[in-house]
Structure 1
Amino acid sequence: MPRNIAEFRIIGQVGGVDAKDKVTYVNVASNYNRQVDGEWQEDTHWNRVTCFGRCAEYAGNAGKGDMVHITGRVRQTSYEREGATIYGTDLVADSFSVLNRAGGGDAG
């Protein structure tokens, strides 16, 4: 049976971790190069990843500047606010790994 999927993979540095009761949000930077007026510039994209369960535990142990590898699924969302439909996209983590600690510590 065919399986339809929408997934993501991010390798980047943690900009911040926001741990709540049952969910942890992680902001992760990914960098790309692009040309502007013939000059190459770094273009940073910030990704907000939602983590539950075991992934939330791992994410809660990550710190600012740590290099991480996250995979997961993409989920479209919508809600109503003041009569308008607001659309969004959630990145929900299935796996979360710290590759390298900021400052050169062991990812352990």
Structure 2
Amino acid sequence: MINFAKFEIIGRIGEIDAKPKVTNVSVCANYRRRGEGDEWIEDSYWNRVVIFSEGQRKYIEERVHVGDLVRVAGRLRDSSYERDGTTHYTTDRIVEEFGVLAPKSA
């Protein structure tokens, strides 16, 4: 049996940070919840995803812009690191699928 942890996000791009071997993208997803009474409130949550694939990184560099509506899917990886004697824990969202659903102007 194969075990896995996956994620899928549909949202708008807020930031693209391309570095020499990795690209980080912030994607905003909106969640609805009930507020006081019967009022619905939209909560926005920024998800940071990481792209290692050279082909996907090139696609993002050439065709993707802040504000575009995208679908991002991939796997989750927990990791930790030490800084100043303190252990910090992170969950990385590693992109396996990336596509633009609509440009910002749509």
Same fold (TM over 0.5): yes
CA RMSD of aligned residues (A): 1.0
Counterpart for residue 30 of structure 1 = 29
TM-score in terms of structure 1 length: 0.90
Could you tell me whether the CA contact under 8 Å between 1:51 and 1:59 is conserved in 2? no
How far the C-alpha of 1:28 sits from its partner, in A, is 0.3
Counterpart for residue 72 of structure 1 = 74
How far the C-alpha of 1:58 sits from its partner, in A, is 2.3
How far the C-alpha of 1:35 sits from its partner, in A, is 1.5
Could you tell me whether the CA contact under 8 Å between 1:55 and 1:96 is conserved in 2? yes
How far the C-alpha of 1:34 sits from its partner, in A, is 0.9
How far the C-alpha of 1:36 sits from its partner, in A, is 2.0
Counterpart for residue 46 of structure 2 = 46
Q: Deviations over 1:34-91 (max 9, x none)?
A: 1222221100110001011222222323111101011100010100111111001110
Query: In percent, how many aligned pairs have the same letter?
Result: 46
CA distance in 2 between partners of 1:19 and 1:82 (Å): 27
Q: Tell me, which stretches of 5 or more residues in structure 2 are unaligned?
A: none
Amino acid at match of 1:81: R
CA distance in 2 between partners of 1:58 and 1:44 (Å): 26
Counterpart for residue 63 of structure 1 = 65
Q: Tell me, which stretches of 5 or more residues in structure 1 are unaligned?
A: none
Give the secondary structure class of the aligned counterpart of 2:58: helix
